[in-house]
Chains A and B, each alone.
Chain A
Amino acid sequence: MTSNDRNTTDASTEVVALIAQHQSRLRGFVRCLLAHDKDVDDLLQEVNVVLWQKADQFEIGTDFWAWASQVARFKVMNQVRKYSRDRLVFDESFMTELADLATERSRGFEDQQSALRHCMKQLPGPQRALIEMRYSSERSIGSIADELGRPEGSIRQTLYRIRGLLLQCIELNMPETSR
């Protein structure tokens, strides 16, 4: 193996790690453009494949998120163009607006993550329990509703309110630079 090959392999390894680190951010990005869960897994996988294929084009140390979200946006748009008219959820021009916004607001993700940790601790017990119930094993609203004996709509509403509180809290606890 030549030294050149060695460098390529190391760079690729690093990109694989970056891809892994960005999975959840990419997932949120793709979902907010598609507005439904269908196709998300397949698309995400395609995005990963492209990122990996083009790993040598990525300069380590530059903005990986900017690059990855571009690739994801491209894949989503391509997928949506294949949809029949009656499956379209958002218009293309609107999706572009959303994608711009989502790219922008996902910056400083690492800081958001640590702010979230801080904010979770401040949640009152029952609210925190509900959030953990929902996310710890990706439980469906239906099964939580059954367990708690409350209507699905009310569970959904409560979770929505808690997410709203968390978002406010994260906003307040972000370092000045990445706001």
Chain B
Amino acid sequence: MSNDTDREFANLLQLAIDGQIDPGQGQRLQELMRGNPERMNAWVDHFRLDSLLSNEIDRSSVVDLVDLVCPQNSTLDHVSPEVHQTKYRKHTESKAWWVVTAILAVSVLFMAFLFVTGRSLSPFASVATPTQPDTTIAILAQTSEDVWHGNVEPPLLLSPGRLQLESGLAEIRVYNGVTLYLEGPVDLDLNSLEHAHLRHGKLRARVAEQAEGFTVTTDAVRLVDRGTEFAISAGDDGRSQVHVFDGLVDLYPSGKASRDDTNRRPVSEGESVEVDPSFETRRTEFALDRFPSAQAMDQSVANRFERWKSWSTEFAKRPDLLVYYNFEEFGEKGNGRNTVIDLADANPINATVVGCEMLTGRWPQKKALGFYNPADRLRVRIPGRWPNLTMACWVRLDELRGVNQALLLTDSFDAWQPHWQIAKEGTLKLGIGQDTVEESRRMRSPSTPLNELAPLGRWMHLATVYNAERKTVDHYVNGNKAGSNGLPVAEPLHIGTAEIGNWLRPRQTGNEPIRNLDGRIDEFMLLRSALNAETIKEIYQAGR
């Protein structure tokens, strides 16, 4: 057991006791404690002693507690049940009071029930559950070819936590005005509005004036920004490199308190230094092109978009395409203001746009239609009967509302008409009309809940494959199988007039008069074949 790790553990434990620890530091603590009973005991003991001390020294709260919970006490009369709604306050004493009053209020209610009804009812319906506060501190503004650790994509809005980008690029805008450019592999703890810890890899930061003081730490160094743009790396050897493009940063030994000014090492514009774990610094040559940047991000995104465009042109030639909209021609001269051109080669089926603001798609260059208002919808008429049908689209779903949200809904719901939508349970489902409601119910085909597969607010690829011969409905999310369902019976589907992103028929009953999507679509396709898993994966890969 080395002295250094002991010291590190002690430091983190001190911070934890004061409630100032972040998840990244927590993980480190776990590493330090696992298999080390001495440290685990210390951890548990310090927390216990901390509450013992609060109890012992701030005695009034304990005395109050004991006195007041006694129901004979006359103060009972003054306690009103409304205190349930009171928000917690920071002060220990107030906390203790809150607990006392809550318990009292609950017991008053409880006894009132006992007296009045003579039976035991739960009085807890009136206990307010505080709403979850918004903990987000940054937005994942843009990514390109990003692959994340464990294939778990971070959400659009980021709360403090660890980001492990294995490859590709990501641009993060912290709410205070700091922009971070990451290029995988990079392992970063985004700790707060003011602080990020780089475990491994490299990043570039552009710090707006309003965010001066932003701090990036590595194992070797603590970098405090003084209004600038800089790059920093953390290597396996424990060394860090720092380069300042513009302005000034201050370096300190890692782990030193911010008030300690003796070891400050300023680095100014154009300067590059390498720092080892003992805070030895030396000037170094810097390979600037090895660091992610806004330009690299823009270039990568532009390349990605171009590559998708070529793929899309080729894809449009597929003979089994029924409908293919990528919205790129939408709004262009000569196409009609409200018309979306079907890119499928044979028998084009153009769509008519009602409402729908034009927004950006997967890349800033890409067009998308928004389906946020009750009016927003895309009208189509698709003739024919199809024993096999593949429905697929790229969608950015901003909210799951607990009601059905339309992808493609036929105007009527007659026998063998499909309703492709996000069900109120948050799953992808293909409803199939039958002669009776009973029969329709037997055709259920839900996927795994979407929010377990992909974060809301990020673009995702959804696909559903209907196969009448095999009597199956398969769902895919981001190229992966997300549900397989067998049907009792299956016949060819027919669509006729239908809508994308909404449902024409207003509902008279139920709590879902409107089925608009609450999101954007930037590519939509129907194929009259049952695509296999491999092909769906290819479509996803080409468009991600």
Contact = CB atoms under 8 A, between A and B. Distances in A.
Contacts of A113: 52, 55-56
A179 interface: no
A131 B16 CA distance: 17
A157 interface: yes
- Name the prevailing secondary structure of the B interface residues: helix
A90 B34 CA distance: 11
A16 B107 contact: yes
B26 A31 contact: no
A145 B406 CA distance: 58
Contact of A20 (B13, B65, B124): B65
Of residues A25, A140, A160, which shows the largest number of chain B Cβ atoms within 10 Å of its Cβ?
A: A160
Interface string B11-46: 001111111011100110110011000001101111
Interface in A83-114: 84-91, 94, 97-98, 101-102, 105-106, 109, 112-113
Q: Which interface residue of B44, B46, B102 has the most chain A CB atoms within 10 A?
A: B44
B72 to A, nearest CB: 9
Contacts of A36: 16, 19, 21-22, 26
Contacts of B26: 35-36, 88-90
Contact of B69 (A17, A32, A120, A157): A17
A28 B10 contact: no
Interface residues of A, number: 74
Contacts, number: 203
A87 B160 contact: yes
A172 to B, nearest CB: 14
B156 interface: no
Contact of B161 (A20, A27, A87, A157): A87
Nearest to B161: A86
A9 B22 CA distance: 43
A107 to B, nearest CB: 11
B23 A88 contact: yes
Interface of B: 10, 13-19, 21-23, 26-27, 29-30, 33-34, 40-41, 43-58, 62, 65-66, 69-71, 88, 90-93, 95-96, 99-100, 102-103, 106-107, 110-111, 114-115, 118, 120, 122, 124, 127, 130, 135, 152, 154-155, 158-163, 256-257, 259-260
Interface of A: 1-2, 5, 8-9, 12-13, 16-17, 19-21, 23-25, 27-29, 31-32, 35-37, 41-42, 44-45, 48-49, 52-53, 56, 84-91, 94, 97-98, 101-102, 105-106, 109, 112-113, 116-117, 120, 131-132, 134-138, 140-141, 151-154, 156-157, 159-160, 163, 166-167, 170
